[in-house]
Structure 1
């Protein structure tokens, strides 16, 4: 993936293998509300927006540390949630827990608790935000430098109208202030009660949100949307009637690329691949669950095709109507359930007691949990099994060399599969029509491009039309892949020349403003480091783009030299002919696994190489030759963080 790979932790390490079976690598998307997407069908009489809280599994949301200036690739700017015991001290944190307990037990809601004085505004902001995320029913205020908390009267009033779970979800929704998001309360058959909820929301949150009631299959619910700046206060009935049909669902796929699954479903449903929207692309060699929305297809029509999709390794869950598409990057992260098989010490000579290997594994996992790992983009970002990787195509597109980009795209991989024969024929003859006849139906991207070149020719204009035939999300992927390659090289260079600490001129993440009830929680910004007052994990490196600033130290010069090496010294990171724009974003150097749980399992082979019987933890005198050792890991990562990169930090020979 790169010339040098740097690690954060120092441990002996061990070897193992992943993805022996697709069930060994399961990825479940965490939606914008902080919940894992549903794996079971939601009752049809309960309409839900794709950003609504999944009430079967209410979890406290985490906020991604990735700062973005585009909705294409990164998450919106927000600080990483910190442990209250760390930012408040254990004593104050314990007092806060007692205060919360007293409120829940019905004691006076007029009491206040002081969390202490914080002279640093960044620390005050972290306290405000973390308390509100952890306890949405609390209101935080600042008097000079002192922060106090008390029960929110607005929350208390809303809780008299709806359930506690709904009140929590609504307050977290308003605190997040994610542009374009919505929240839907549970169905309510009482018109009088719905009127009371409407009036309360209008009175207390009217400047922030707009509400409406809607009926679906005989059930009426209240939907709440954040107001858009410059938009009318109320949407008209005509606006609502003219909205397109959108159907949301949870896509479960096995051993399929996300775009491959979309192409197949689009063909079967008679719509375009661009009619599908999603929050992120998931691994191919895995079982993955992710949210998806399709335009112009009703829930009934989608369910009719479910049986056909299953034959392709695609399952659909939680099919329901929604009012809007998904946007790339609208997720909180991914949950991983992974099995690492055949674990052995990295350096061993002869039989090794299993107890020794188990201690080795535990030490490595715990160390990486505490130190984090270098936040590299994983090899699947670039197409590790392909002769021509996606960043090479992205570079050609940034140079607006459409013909070269097409030729790179159609470079065949090793093997004599039908798609490789079709690609080889196109490069040798330039005949798009004949190559189209040879290209398998399942290769939707290749067929779209060949069809366009058959119509417009294979010159620069025809190749540009070929790229335009692909969905925008596919075209922009190649540019982002190139920027990801540069970022990987940048972080390796940064660690090699500046080490593992904050340096003068680094870019860091800063939180601005006060986090009281009226504060704009999206006011984070990236600043140039001036004083050595920031923690190491707050250091960011920019993804190249036309709006980012670069570090004012040796890394700034490195970026200029690196882009110049590829002939992009004057690149504006726009390809107008393909309607592509790359503003760039900022990515943390470090990432940390969250909600980490792991366990070791001893298995015995059945004589033909299959592990069938779990072996008791006892018998530490057994060796690797007699018993196989597997490691099961369950953890969460923020968006654009790669589980394979985390595993590489733990395991030295994946």
Structure 2
């Protein structure tokens, strides 16, 4: 597998129709990709109704130093009631503490939390979460412990920012639940500290305290209800000091009530952070500013566009987030979020961006990054030019060939391969080869593969050729164009640390984590493609014993995400319990299961042949951790529309023109599906 360029010619098809010939991407305008957000709307339309009032509200939230998901749940106050003096019976506080909200702000906060759930969690996981929360709440209110063994996995979330958002949303919604991370997996269980406090105070007051504690709003305070029992106050003080003493401090304050009686309240506040005098404090003026926008780019890679944006705005590429990487030779529209840049500043850079083939629109404030995969799909409008029958079928009827191909793709779908853009189009430097070298921790080799030049005399290739021939890092730097941010970051690090293994490690660490992990994902994608081809060639569309399928989670059980992958049994094969649409194959990683039929053995042999027989898919020196995932073998295009009679006149000479047929296609694909792969199955052509 390691030798030679990536070859799509060897990969299987699912249908046996003849197909037809045509060319795609004659120009970027022939291939238009529009991202569809998680609500099912095109990103070119989704924010057109944002009002100035909403923009102002978001901007005010960004500039505040409050919690991301619940920014207005700050101060807590005691509810003044006539019977307040009777609250000290048997040392129990029976009144509630009100967190002061404006109704609209509270509704907005709750909406944000549920928006996080809808974005990050599947419906069955959400149902299980709410079901468990209800059971834990009932158990705590009846003083019955649920035990620490009751855990629920919410799924794998490699992005740290995404995990933080999910942790906060769960704890703000269900303060009696504890969230924690195991590797990249987010899990929940009953919060026994909450139960202990609810026995000292009340369930309602415990809710408010843990909501306050999780929000971590600077300069905020929480005041418990007045308590006339000194022993009870001492118990509360000891609890807070023992459990949260490093985070907060608690003091008792005495005050007179309206009835003239002296009452004592416990007030909790966050401890001041002690900064080191020897360290420069980070400016927080723009730290919590996030600006979302729709990026239109033409003939640019997503990573290249982000690098240019970062250079133009004076921020790092890692300050940008996006849901997916879009095609290069195309016109694409996608959602992007940038940190530490205001909408006004982004608008100021519009003129500079247009010179690079980029436009921005729908600019508006937001409160968090977007994560990879946070989309429901992409809509494609494609022109296929020079449409004709294959050379081996020149006598065939073209319309019949097109109709047959479209019919099959609608009904049988296509094998869900990763497209060629996942690996890079060059014949010498391909992303999967770099990924394999990184997995084998061959750092110097990975650097040389990265700088392997292609054919052509453009400035980038000239710089790569110079480096490849001379290894003169200092001399290569001025030759590398400024917009090639990744290449220049690597070169600067290598110039400082040298080309030793340690120096190359430092070089790779100089580029963002998302870029480092991209190369390993490219290698894993290559393995998945070839495994899928082998699976379909070996077993066809029949679901057989040893295949992997996703099964629906039992809402009454708290199963880990990995336990939802089911291995098909002999009985299930005979009874045809599952269809090919339910079959998944794993992307290699340290937390996945392999099929137990011949496909599983194929994986083992493939990894051994690439020298990865002992690989655990963790590269500690580069801070890379690859848990793996599962991907459906078969996918279908939705809303497929085609116009087979479009005629394009092309000029042959001064006197004559020729008419060539073209085909206009419009369809939608799920996220992480490739239009070029759908066209490959339809037309029986490799692109």
Equivalent in the alignment of 1:138 = none
Is the Cα contact below 8 Å between 1:8 and 1:371 reproduced in 2?
A: yes
Residue 46 and residue 286 in structure 1: after superposition, are their counterparts in 2 closer, same or farther (change >3 A)?
Answer: farther
Root mean square deviation of aligned Cα: 3.4
How many residue pairs match? The answer is 482
1:35 alignment partner in structure 2: 41
Alignment partner of 1:45 out of 52, 55, 58: 52
What's the offset of the Cα at 1:601? 3.0
Note the 1:274-423 alignment, pairs <5 A. 274-347=318-391, 356-423=397-464
Distance 1:256 1:237, change over 3 A: same
- 1:648, distance to aligned residue in structure 2 (A): 0.7
Residue 218 (structure 2) aligns with:
238
The answer as to whether partners of 1:253 and 1:288 remain within 8 angstroms in 2 is yes
TM-score, scaled to structure 1: 0.68
Q: Is 2:560 aligned against 1:528?
A: no
Residue 227 in 1 paired to residue 207 in 2? no
Q: Secondary structure at the match of 2:673?
A: coil
Deviation string, structure 1 residues 176-223 (Cα, Å, up to 9, x no partner): 362599xxxxxxxxxxxxxxxxxxxxx9xx99xxxxxxxxxxxxxxxx
List per-residue Cα deviations over 1:325-346 (Å, max 9, x = no partner): 1111111111111111121122
Q: Which has the higher helix share?
A: 2
In the alignment, the residues of structure 2 paired with residue 313 and residue 490 of structure 1 have an alpha-carbon distance, to the nearest angstrom, of 38
Inter-partner Cα distance in structure 1 for 2:560 and 2:618: 30
Counting only pairs closer than 5 Å after superposition, residues 91-106 of structure 1 correspond to structure 2 as none
Aligned-partner Cα distance in 2 for 1:462–1:641: 37
Change (3 A) 1:462 1:588: same
Q: Which of 579, 589, 607 is residue 633 of structure 2 equivalent to?
A: 589
Q: Distance in 1 between matches of 2:510 and 2:381?
A: 37
Question: What is the rounded CA distance, in whole Å, between the counterparts of 1:178 and 1:24 in structure 2?
Answer: 33
Q: Which residue of 1 aligns with 2:3?
A: none
In the alignment, the residues of structure 1 paired with residue 369 and residue 632 of structure 2 have an alpha-carbon distance, to the nearest angstrom, of 28
Residue 569 of structure 1 is matched in structure 2 by: 613
Q: Which residue of 1 aligns with 2:671?
A: 639
Determine the structure 1 residue equivalent to 2:551: 510
- Select the residue among 499, 506, 514 that pairs with 1:458: 499
Deviant stretches of 4+, over 6 Å: 169-172, 239-243, 348-352, 518-524
Q: Is the 8 A contact 2:311 2:483 kept in 1?
A: no
Does structure 2 conserve the Cα–Cα contact (< 8 Å) formed by 1:448 and 1:470?
yes
Q: Which runs of 5+ in 2 are unaligned?
A: 1-6, 59-102, 124-133, 139-167, 172-176, 180-209, 221-283
- In structure 2, the CA distance between the partners of 1:459 and 1:239, relative to structure 1 (3 Å rule), is farther
Q: Which moved more, 1:239-248 or 1:535-544?
A: 239-248
Q: Which has the larger radius of gyration?
A: 2
Higher relative contact order (CA 8 A, sep 6+): 1
The question of whether the paired residues in 1 share the 8 Å contact of 2:652 and 2:658 is answered with: no
Following superposition of structure 1 onto structure 2, how do residues 164-175 of structure 1 map, counting pairs within 5 Å? 173=115
Q: 1:359 to 1:48 in 2, by over 3 A?
A: farther
Deviations 1:448-507 (A, max 9, x none): 000001111111111111111111111000000000000111111112222221110110
- Report the Cα offset of residue 604 of structure 1: 5.2
1:537 aligns with: 581
Q: Displacement, 1:230? A: 3.1
Query: Would the aligned equivalents of 1:376 and 1:488 in 2 still touch at CA under 8 Å?
Result: yes
Structure 1 stretches of 5 or more lacking a match? 52-160, 182-202, 208-224, 613-624
Q: Which residue of 2 aligns with 1:648?
A: 680
For 1:19 and 1:378, locate their aligned partners in 2 and report how far apart those are by CA, in whole Å. 14
Give the deviation of 1:417 after TM superposition: 2.1
SS of 1:548's partner is: coil
1:316 shift after superposition: 0.6
The corresponding residue for 2:96 is none
- Whole-Å separation in 1 of the counterparts to 2:549 and 2:219: 43
CA distance in 1, matches of 2:440, 2:642: 46
**1:389 CA displacement:** 0.6
* CA separation of 1:12 and 1:407: change in aligned 2, threshold 3 A: same
**Cα deviation, residue 236, structure 1:** 4.9
**Cα offset for 1:305?**
0.7
How far apart, in 1, do the equivalents of 2:368 and 2:54 lie? 13
**Could you tell me whether the CA contact under 8 Å between 1:177 and 1:226 is conserved in 2?**
no
Alpha-carbon offset, residue 385 of structure 1: 2.6
Contact 1:346 1:652 in 2 (8 A): no
CA positional deviation for 1:409: 0.4
